[in-house]
Amino acid sequence: MACVQRLRAKTGAHYKKEEGMSTVRVLVGTRKGAFVLTADAKRARWEVSGPYFGGWEIYHLKGSSANPNRLYASQSSGWFGQQIQRSNDGGQTWEAVGNQFVYDGVPGTHQWYDGTPHPWEFKRVWHLEPSLTDPDTVYAGVEDAALFHSTDGGQTWQELPELRGAQGHLWQPGAGGMCLHTIVLDSSNPERIFIAISAAGTFRTDDAGMTWRPMNRGLRSEGIPNPHAEVGHCVHRIAMHPLRPNVLFMQKHWDVMRSDNAGASWHEVSGNLPTDFGFPIEVHAHEPDTIYVVPITSDSEHYPPEGKLRVYRSRTGGNEWEALTRGLPQRDCYVNVLRDAMAVDALDPCGLYFGTTGGQVYGSADAGDSWAPIVRDLPPVLSVEVQTLP
């Protein structure tokens, strides 16, 4: 029987498919190139292609849900700067498109590490988020933190400058740089976008970027002078289920948080996690209250507690967590999983994937109950995305 579509969100990305003719395509960005991993719906045998853009850092690549063969990739180098690559055939061939990211007007200053004003300077694109409906529209989150978008398939880029008006002069870089790393589009409301910045916090627009508000009430960060400040929080990642867009989950520098009112306020759901420090957070494709994190020892020890690589799953939207260990190394493991390096597919059962700084990409075809490495020896993994294809 061909794949059966039971439930479809407007995104086209989180509909539920039974195993059948579907395939999954995992897009992996690494420190030294991009890789594409493909498998049928059983997700047992994988084909690995790449490296694409060998030797370049690929911070992120992602496909359009409106046209899955349209992919965008952020390619960068300390020597030669930023490139944006675009594919129209699912990653088999690529073309360089526009790479000019110029801040709107006089960019002004943000806070530097020592508290002095520092001019905004473009460094790289951390995250590319294609529109849910138009393959030629894509958003780019950049360092120094700003949001750009393109409506011509990446040929030209324009800043949405009002974001930096949301107290941008007070934003300060985290240890990894002042990056806009998360962009969440709301399939039920095309005017609403959530973004997250390290170390400024979460922001939301309800008018397609014309105005922005900090959405950080309820966050508490000991590392800043006012732990409850309106901006200045080191948010690592936020996630949403498209069918329940008012519920957001956040992995903060410390603390796993939840909002039930589209970010207006947050409450902690770290519960029984062994540590609430970490980077990625993901939501099950079909169960909006099932979420996943990868606890990391601390902000000064970026590896799993006790050398055991464990994904933690909550089926209750937080607070009650279970360790998922089957197939993952449970001794002598000291890798990290970065914020953009975890993804879920749309099959039933839901598949999960994550990549490590040790170059492994692990996959689970049973919602996290068991895991197996897809590849073991890639360069350090920066990002993992997955496409579920008919």
Partner 1 sequence: MIRIVLPTHLRTLARVDGEVQLDVEGPATQRSILDALETRYPMLRGTIRDHVTQQRRAFVRFFACEQDLSHASPDAPLPDAVVVGAEPFLIVGAMAGG
Sites of contact with partner 1 (CB under 8 A): 54-56, 77-83, 96, 99-100, 102
For partner 1, which is the closer residue by CB, 107 or 214? Answer: 107
Residue 167 is which amino acid? Q
Which residues are CB-contacts of 122 (< 8 A; sequence separation ≥ 6)? 82, 101, 102, 103, 142, 143, 144
Strand pairing category for 17-18 and 347-348? parallel
The distance of Cα 18 from the centroid of its chain, to the nearest Å, equals: 25
> Residue 29 or residue 280: which is nearer to partner 1 going by CB?
29
Beta bridge partners of 277: 254, 296
Tell me how many degrees the CA angle 341-255-160 measures, rounded to the nearest 5: 60
- Cα dihedral 141/147/149/154 (nearest 10): -40
Q: CB 56 → partner 1: shortest distance, Å?
A: 7
CB of 113 to partner 1, least distance (A): 20
CB of 381 to partner 1, least distance (A): 21
Q: Please, which residue, 77 or 189, has the CB nearer to partner 1?
A: 77
Q: Which residue has the tokens 């601390």?
A: 298
Cα distances (Å, whole numbers) of residue 250 to 47, 237, 351: 33, 6, 21
Diameter of the chain measured on Cα atoms: 63
**Whose Cβ is closer to partner 1: residue 78's or residue 105's?**
78
Q: Which residue's CB is nearer to partner 1, number 54 or number 223?
A: 54
Q: Which is nearer to partner 1, 96 or 208 (CB)?
A: 96
Question: Which single residue is written with the structure tokens 């939301």?
Answer: 204
Quote the least distance from Cβ 194 to partner 1, whole Å. 29
CB of 96 to partner 1, least distance (A): 4
d(CA 276, CA 33): 31
| ∠ Cα 335 24 325 (to 5°) | 35
Closer Cβ to partner 1, 21 or 96, answer by number: 96
Work out how close the CB of 61 gets to partner 1 at its nearest, in angstroms, rounded to a whole number: 16
Angstrom CA distances, 231 to 56, 67, 282, 311, 345, stand at 33, 36, 24, 29, 33
Shortest separation between residue 157's beta carbon and partner 1, angstroms: 11
Q: How many residues does the chain have?
A: 390
CA distance 182 to 178: 12
Comparing CB distances to partner 1, the nearer of 122 and 171 is 122
Shortest reach from residue 168's CB to partner 1, in Å: 20
